Amino acid sequence: MDLNKYLEYVNWNQTGLDHPVVDFKTLSALHNRHILTFPFENFDVFLTGETSLQHDKLFDKMVNQKRGGWCFELNGLLYSILKQIGFKVRPLMARNRLAPGKPRTHQILLVECENQIYLVDAGFGGTCIQKPHRLENQYIQNHGGLDFKLILQKPEITFSGIQEPDNWLLQILKNDEWSNLYEFTLEQFEYEDFIIGNHFHTTSQLSPFTAQRLVIKVHPETRWILINKSVREYVVENKNEVINREYIIQSAEELRAELEKNANIIISQKQSEVLFNEEPPKSVLQYI
């Protein structure tokens, strides 16, 4: 994996830092540059029906082909970059808590740096953290004008004294109330665990990602979201996201241009026609 090519692509020179080293300044800058460069998107579900988690293929897709991905891809590439620099990283699985009844199919990262552990996540499709968030109970941190908080939930003792692992819950402040985003434990997962979750999202009609074409691109001042042909742009006002503008994409040509301009995604004319013309399934069970 070509680290220098990655750094050039994410505009590392804009950070004001020298070559990456194992320290918090590097970790924070990499997290932020990764989010500002790579969009969350699920186009391969409709273009190829396949998504690979092999590190060299992730690099080729996202850097060489100028595409994005979802959590397994976005955090998978970031994991490889952090490991190459020398960071101690543990990939974990989280459970989306935006609604009840969801399995653990969201990948996140824990990174140990300067005697502190941080939550690092560049792949949450909803409103996301934009820099490392300290793994500390009740710790509130502002990301892009929005407040986030981690809560440590101690489990009850069950099964004759067997204690379940501690559970961490990430929340966001919306309209002066804390709302759940996702929860996770610190238990270690194997590479194959992520392959299963990735395959589910790629192929299952129980996954929302097989039901709609989705792009979410974070910018320094806005968040740009495409769902099929509908676009919304959000800005932050008084620690809340509000709609700044919304519009409908009218043609495959417009879709291709909008993706390049607003999402840093480069696709061919043929690909844009497939994405624009394919209608989502009429009925999909929204399980996750």
CA dist list (Å): 200 to 49, 139, 205, 281, 287:
12, 33, 9, 17, 12
29 phi, psi to nearest 5 deg: -65, -40
Q: Whole-angstrom Cα distance, residue 227 to residue 216?
A: 9
DSSP assignment string, 238-286: TTEEEEEEEEE--SHHHHHHHHHHHH-----HHHHHHHHHPPPPS----
Question: Catalytic residue among 31, 34, 71, 201, which?
Answer: 71
Question: Catalytic residue among 31, 44, 113, 121, which?
Answer: 121
Give the count of beta carbons closer than 10 Å to the beta carbon of residue 74.
26
Does residue 18 carry a catalytic annotation?
no
CA dist list (Å): 134 to 89, 111, 268, 285:
14, 10, 41, 36
Does residue 113 carry a catalytic annotation?
no
Q: Whole-angstrom Cα distance, residue 172 to residue 128?
A: 9
Judge whether 267 and 257 are in contact, CB under 8 Å.
no
Question: How many residues comprise the chain?
Answer: 288
Question: Catalytic residue among 106, 133, 143, 201, which?
Answer: 106
Nearest by Cα to 83 from 109, 51, 104: 109
199 phi, psi to nearest 5 deg: -65, -40
Q: Whole-angstrom Cα distance, residue 22 to residue 37?
A: 21
Nearest by Cα to 287 from 107, 125, 102, 93: 102
Judge whether 124 and 133 are in contact, CB under 8 Å.
no
CB-based contacts of 148, cutoff 8 Å, min separation 6 = 129, 133, 140, 141, 142, 170, 171, 172, 173, 181
Residues annotated as part of the active site: 71, 106, 121
